[in-house]
Chains A and B, each alone.
Chain A
């Protein structure tokens, strides 16, 4: 069993144009284990994406206090590729496009990056695994010969993120708004992919605005984030309650003094 622990995490982001720093995360605490699916919900601008990018190691986010522990080892000093090889995966909201590198070639490189020189995946094993996962995600084989994300539609990009998840098989996946821009059919397919990963070796942290996604991927734990902190943690029914009452309702119930970005 693997664990991912966020301890009193404070994160600043630098605004390059204005040369100012702004604190986004103001003391986040979270513990998750493989075998569990956690969801983080919260209004816009509350730091959900900052949390996922910071865990992954994006350089623009500066940790000023606190720690991130993977299996009791701090990963703060590790570069992003090392964190990935240690078992973290971030399905991104806006994946980069890489022309000239085929999807298949990239997937093999990513899988082999986790393996030793003398234990690289064979072409047969790779193709078998690829075919299986393409079928789960209802993707055509031609997608794998296209250049990585180049010219992919929004929905294709999301599916491709999940294809990578299925091929790489990380211990912990951070899924950053994988439901945005998806129609209901695509949402079902993407959820099917994530659900196929469920098991004792896999944990996921799902970031979403809407409860809708959680109808398809049932979380074990739901966290609500507001103003750079987790303000409430509960079971799956917390998401339903939020859907009905809105974030402002919860804020007022908790007596928090937080200005919601989208609130007039």
Chain B
């Protein structure tokens, strides 16, 4: 696409000048940048950068406590905040080809701003619906000091043609804030997606990630947490199921910059049929982050002999005075467990689902909201049942 054409689309969308210029800069550098690195996972042949022509405006609830706005409206009404934070502080637009592409071709999004000393009682729930063949969505959350907010995001696909998604979430959690972000991703089998979620966590702030990655199409995911502040803390829980011929690569990374910062990764993946899932758990402790604590568990369960999976813990530690540990496993369904359940009359498929639920169990039980836990269990049951049907028909 020519820069002129992009300017025209953005102008029709009433975007401010700075925002359009940011798009154009990103468009110009895109071709020089590399795809994000994903160890042991090759996706360079995937089509991930189609050009946007349609922009969607998002509906949202209003509140007196905080600001929740369509991202383009936010760019007009809160230019200072948006210029400071949007693709600038947490994730930068020039990091890689896909972040530059995202900035250039953004076509929907939300901005959430929680003012200082605000506790948002009710979780904020957002449904992201992919309603065109290109879906470049952005969620920017800025939680000021001493705030608390819980955010629940679901994403689904409403279109049937082959398409792509590039969904970025940026969280700024300032000192003493608590941000809980839960995601249930259910993009369709026709969608090739890139998901990038990252939090910047300041002093004594806490970010809780509960992610149910239930997409049906090929997916590359980067879940990052930068623990900048002293005493910052994050718990990252990822549950993932792949089915059919789906391929997924997931990088879950925690970087400890702050002293006494704590980051725990706990990931579980179930790989069905001929699908492929790579979990990379990356723990990086920066020199100076004394007293930091980084733990991770990456486990995958293979449900078929044709499934392909890997769980790679990667620890990079540049500081002596730290606690760090990892556990990883790649396993098969335990035949003894299946036999036992079936010997009580439970059919094989149900027995398999029970065993899988047990495998996912300790991640599920650590999800703080009961509501999300139950929704996620339902989604998991559905995805497993669909996966079992796919296996039957192949």
Chain B residues positioned under 8 Å from A59 (CB to CB):
339
Q: Is the interface of A mostly helix, strand, loop or mixed?
A: mixed
B362 and A100 within 8 A (CB):
yes
Chain A residues positioned under 8 Å from B95 (CB to CB):
none
Tally the A-B contacts, defined by beta carbons under 8 Å.
Answer: 78
Interface 0/1 of A32-66, CB less than 8 Å to B: 00000000000000000000000011110000000
Least CB distance from A55 to B in Å reads: 11
Any A CB within 8 A of the CB of B364: yes
A100 and B340 within 8 A (CB):
no
Any B CB within 8 A of the CB of A146: no
Q: Which of B342, B347, B362 has the most CB of A within 10 A?
A: B342
Q: What is the CA–CA distance of A147 and B354 in the complex, to the nearest angstrom?
A: 12
Of B341, B343, B350, B365, the residue contacting A98 (CB under 8 A) is: B341
Of B340, B347, B358, the residue contacting A147 (CB under 8 A) is: B358
Known: A81-B347, A96-B334, A110-B345. A101 touches B358 (CB 8 A): yes
Q: What is the CA–CA distance of A97 and B336 in the complex, to the nearest angstrom?
A: 9
B340 and A101 within 8 A (CB):
no
Of A90, A100, A106, A168, the residue contacting B341 (CB under 8 A) is: A106
Q: What is the CA–CA distance of A168 and B365 in the complex, to the nearest angstrom?
A: 28
Any A CB within 8 A of the CB of B33: no
Q: What is the CA–CA distance of A57 and B338 in the complex, to the nearest angstrom?
A: 13
Q: What is the CA–CA distance of A100 and B342 in the complex, to the nearest angstrom?
A: 17
Known: A98-B340, A101-B354. A110 touches B364 (CB 8 A): no
Least CB distance from A57 to B in Å reads: 8
Known: A113-B345, A168-B344. A81 touches B360 (CB 8 A): no
Q: What is the CA–CA distance of A217 and B178 in the complex, to the nearest angstrom?
A: 61
A98 and B347 within 8 A (CB):
no
B358 and A99 within 8 A (CB):
yes
Any B CB within 8 A of the CB of A92: yes
B354 and A81 within 8 A (CB):
no
Size class of the contact patch on chain B: 20 to 34
Interface 0/1 of B325-358, CB less than 8 Å to A: 0000000001011011111111110110011011
Q: What is the CA–CA distance of A110 and B340 in the complex, to the nearest angstrom?
A: 11
A92 and B340 within 8 A (CB):
yes
Q: Which of B341, B355, B360, B364 has the most CB of A within 10 A?
A: B341
Q: What is the CA–CA distance of A57 and B354 in the complex, to the nearest angstrom?
A: 20
A81 and B351 within 8 A (CB):
yes
Any B CB within 8 A of the CB of A80: yes
Of A81, A90, A100, the residue contacting B346 (CB under 8 A) is: A81
Any B CB within 8 A of the CB of A109: yes
List which B350-394 residues lie within 8 A (CB) of chain A. Answer: 350-351, 354-355, 357-362, 364-365
B358 and A81 within 8 A (CB):
no
Chain A, residue nearest B356 (CB): A100
Q: Is the interface of B mostly helix, strand, loop or mixed?
A: helix
Q: What is the CA–CA distance of A168 and B344 in the complex, to the nearest angstrom?
A: 8
Least CB distance from B359 to A in Å reads: 7
Least CB distance from A59 to B in Å reads: 8
Any B CB within 8 A of the CB of A85: yes
Q: What is the CA–CA distance of A114 and B344 in the complex, to the nearest angstrom?
A: 9
Q: What is the CA–CA distance of A241 and B184 in the complex, to the nearest angstrom?
A: 66
Q: What is the CA–CA distance of A90 and B344 in the complex, to the nearest angstrom?
A: 8
Q: What is the CA–CA distance of A249 and B354 in the complex, to the nearest angstrom?
A: 49
Chain A residues positioned under 8 Å from B355 (CB to CB):
98
Chain A, residue nearest B350 (CB): A109
A79 and B342 within 8 A (CB):
yes
Chain A residues positioned under 8 Å from B364 (CB to CB):
100
List which A62-120 residues lie within 8 A (CB) of chain B. Answer: 79-81, 84-85, 89-90, 92, 95-101, 106, 109-110, 113-114
Known: A96-B334, A96-B337. A101 touches B344 (CB 8 A): no
Chain B residues positioned under 8 Å from A89 (CB to CB):
343-344
B358 and A98 within 8 A (CB):
yes
Least CB distance from A253 to B in Å reads: 37
Q: What is the CA–CA distance of A101 and B354 in the complex, to the nearest angstrom?
A: 7
B337 and A100 within 8 A (CB):
no
Chain B residues positioned under 8 Å from A109 (CB to CB):
344, 346, 350, 354
Q: What is the CA–CA distance of A106 and B345 in the complex, to the nearest angstrom?
A: 11
B339 and A100 within 8 A (CB):
no
Chain B, residue nearest A86 (CB): B345
Hey, which bits of chain A sit against chain B, CB under 8 A?
56-59, 79-81, 84-85, 89-90, 92, 95-101, 106, 109-110, 113-114, 147, 164, 168
Q: List 7 A-B contacts (CB under 8 A).
A: A57-B343, A81-B351, A84-B342, A84-B345, A98-B341, A100-B361, A164-B344
Other contacts beyond A99-B359, A100-B361, A109-B350: 12, CB < 8 A: A58-B339, A81-B347, A84-B342, A84-B344, A84-B345, A85-B345, A90-B343, A100-B362, A106-B341, A113-B347, A147-B361, A168-B344
Q: Would you list the 9 A-B pairs with minimal beta carbon distance, nearest first?
A: A100-B361, A100-B358, A84-B345, A96-B340, A110-B344, A81-B342, A113-B345, A85-B345, A99-B358
